[in-house]
Structure 1
Amino acid sequence: MNVIPSVDLSDFLSEDPIRKQKFIDEIGKAYEEIGFVALKGHFLDDTLVKNLYGEVKKFFDLPLEIKQKYEIPGIGGQRGYVSFGKESAKGKKEGDLKEFWHFGQYVEDNPILAKDYPDNVEVEELHEFNKVGKKTYRMLEKTAKYVLRALALHLGLEETYFDKYIHNGNSILRPIHYPPITQEPKDAVRAAAHGDINLITLLMGAQGKGLQVQNHKGEWIDAIAEPDELMINVGDMLSRHTNNKLKSTIHRVINPPRELWGTSRYSIPFFMHPISEMKLDVLEKCVDENNPKHFEDITAGEFLNERLVELGLIKK
């Protein structure tokens, strides 16, 4: 597969069982073959997207000393600001050429869980930043819920199988700024080749060249979305839970050609995580003679902790 398939969530949400099944089949096939789709028909409207990018650019344009006061020690970068070069891909020494922000879950109806998660960080200088971030978080979480419902049906599970695990899940909205490149990068790229940790990732801002996906032959292919599309991929948690039936695909963000070094790039992924207690044990429906169980039993919380240590964001 050398192109990223495009699907339309409005097919799944329609009252037409044929259209609904078409969406389930298309997204299931794409995730078994390459692990990425471009999705139309999501819950983000143009005004919200425009407002979010406006606020994100304003934040990253703030002086470094102001941004750094929102870098909170001791929480592994799970909320607030993470400065340039702090994060590296698994197995890479060089930090990625990016800075980013984390919005986390806005817990409802569960005071114990609310105490477990770090608080979201309020930016005093930008009155709309947190409000727009929260609204975007909610719309992407809603979109992700229906994508997971389609995947549950594709896997032969009950449609709302994932609902109880993603309600108040440990999801993250991450606006990323890749600043202009000012000198020849030694071995660093904007985001080194990696797989995502979570269930699924919904990516805003994949309209220009930069994001690349590795297909089964090991070839890198460009993943470019239309302006009204989100790029959505399978993460390692879902791949593990389905015994690699659904593929978590390695992807990267390459540096632009030299003539574009002076430009910033912005992208905004939403990492859909479940609650920490979710068991990622391989689904029985995904094990057979040809595909024996590949993974040990583990919870989502244990798996996340392992990966944050590997990324250098928390210490053992």
Structure 2
Amino acid sequence: MSFHDFVAGGEARERFVTALGRALEQLGFVFVRDHGIDEALLARAYALAERLFALPEALKRRYETPQDGRQRGYTSFGVEHAKDRSVADLKELWHVGRLLPVDHPRTQSGAIPRNRYVEELPGFSETAQALFDAMDRFAMGLLEAIEIHLGRPTGFFEDLTRDGNSVLRIIHYPPLPDDVPEGAVRAAEHEDINLLTILPASTEPGLQLMTRDGEWLEVVPPPGAMVCDTGDMMQLLTDGRLPATTHRVVNPSLDTQRSRYSMPLFCHPHPDAVLRPAREQGAIPEVTAGSFLMERLRAIGLA
């Protein structure tokens, strides 16, 4: 589907909203083209990501922040694992988030961690921030369409995500080592934590989603399209109307041992946003975005 239809308004917008809502309800994944994100910016970000992960391991680890759940900066190879699994995924990460003023209350409190600037790689941090901003704008447009589909008040998602903890995750899946642990894969089956994920085409194949019938499908977006899917926070917020879809990144065959790079944007609410109000006189407690995120970061080994 084309995002131009949503921007055009009228019947084209209505068709887009209906198609997007149905796809997310039935499959959880959708391809959207004409998103307005500069292909040259994406190419530059991928080229700089390759140089970033080629830096010495000791240098990269200087930018690792386990104290805040590794929400920004570097995450070493073999740290993250899928929820309810003990075998680590075969990847290393770099996180870039929303740039708030240093005197912003959420910056001051640490609720929104500050980004880590890579002095050893000029241009990387600026490019990553520009890509975050572009993908974040597109995500907000899709959330507006989802808002209409759900019948939520105008501005519902804008209020929910204002000064929120969205993050661009830059991922490097290296060629498989000779001693791959039994059962280890590039990314074991999981659901995303957040509201909405926006994913440009990765540099190598491997992404698969699980259908509602339990079958694995290859995710192969058309050229120039973004892959969009809903996560656990959206499932919780909508009482399961927009469910999170299980997906994974499988290992390459032995004759295609190349690095794989991927750059999903995870759209998050602000930390105080209520995803589920307390129910039954407190028998079911309130869930906020901040508490939910930290619980999941602990479950996947980042915190």
TM over 0.5: yes
Q: Answer whether contact 1:233 1:248 (CA < 8 A) is retained.
A: yes
1:91 aligned to which of 84, 92, 113: 84
Q: How big is the alpha-carbon RMSD for the aligned residues of Structure 1 and Structure 2?
A: 1.6
Q: Answer whether contact 2:74 2:95 (CA < 8 A) is retained.
A: yes
TM-score of the two chains, using structure 1 as the length reference: 0.89
1:212-240: per-residue Cα shift (whole Å, max 9, x none)? 00001100001111231111100100011
1:71-107: per-residue Cα shift (whole Å, max 9, x none)? 1241211111101010000011111000010101111
Report what 1:307 is aligned to: 296
TM-score of the two chains, using structure 2 as the length reference: 0.93
Comparing 185-194 and 101-110, the one that deviates more: 101-110
- Describe the SS at the equivalent of 1:137: helix
Q: Answer whether contact 2:64 2:75 (CA < 8 A) is retained.
A: yes
Report what 2:228 is aligned to: 232
- Describe the SS at the equivalent of 1:74: helix
Q: Answer whether contact 1:40 1:230 (CA < 8 A) is retained.
A: yes
- Describe the SS at the equivalent of 1:259: coil
CA–CA separation in structure 2 for the residues paired with 1:207 and 1:102: 18
Report what 1:8 is aligned to: 2
Letter in 1 for 2:60: K
2:51 aligned to which of 50, 58, 68: 58
Query: What is the correspondence of 1:105-116 to structure 2 with a 5 Å cutoff?
Result: 105-107=98-100, 111-115=104-108, 116=110
Letter in 2 for 1:126: L
Counterparts in 2 of 1:110 and 1:23: CA distance versus 1, 3 Å: farther
CA–CA separation in structure 2 for the residues paired with 1:92 and 1:273: 24
Structure 1 residue 108 displacement after superposition: 5.1
Counterparts in 2 of 1:8 and 1:109: CA distance versus 1, 3 Å: farther
1:132-159: per-residue Cα shift (whole Å, max 9, x none)? 0110010111001010000010011123
Question: Is structure 2 residue 215 aligned with structure 1 residue 222?
Answer: no
How many residues are paired up?
294
Report what 1:71 is aligned to: 64
Question: Is structure 2 residue 199 aligned with structure 1 residue 203?
Answer: yes
1:276 aligned to which of 271, 274, 277: 271
Letter in 2 for 1:242: T
Structure 1 residue 109 displacement after superposition: 9.5
Q: Answer whether contact 2:202 2:260 (CA < 8 A) is retained.
A: no
Q: Answer whether contact 1:206 1:223 (CA < 8 A) is retained.
A: no
Q: Answer whether contact 1:34 1:215 (CA < 8 A) is retained.
A: yes
CA–CA separation in structure 1 for the residues paired with 2:16 and 2:273: 26
- Describe the SS at the equivalent of 2:221: coil
Report what 1:285 is aligned to: none
Question: Is structure 2 residue 181 aligned with structure 1 residue 188?
Answer: no
Letter in 2 for 1:43: G
Letter in 2 for 1:166: T
CA–CA separation in structure 2 for the residues paired with 1:98 and 1:75: 20
Counterparts in 2 of 1:242 and 1:76: CA distance versus 1, 3 Å: same
Structure 1 residue 110 displacement after superposition: 6.7
Query: What is the correspondence of 1:227-306 to structure 2 with a 5 Å cutoff?
Result: 227-260=223-256, 262-281=257-276, 297-306=286-295
Report what 2:135 is aligned to: 140
Counterparts in 2 of 1:73 and 1:248: CA distance versus 1, 3 Å: closer
| Deviant stretches of 4+, over 4 Å | none
Identity of aligned residues (%): 38
1:27-75: per-residue Cα shift (whole Å, max 9, x none)? 0000110100111121311111111111111101112122122112412
CA–CA separation in structure 1 for the residues paired with 2:200 and 2:90: 18
Structure 1 residue 207 displacement after superposition: 6.4
- Describe the SS at the equivalent of 1:103: strand
Unpaired runs of 5+ in structure 1? 1-6, 283-294
CA–CA separation in structure 2 for the residues paired with 1:83 and 1:48: 25
- Describe the SS at the equivalent of 2:275: coil
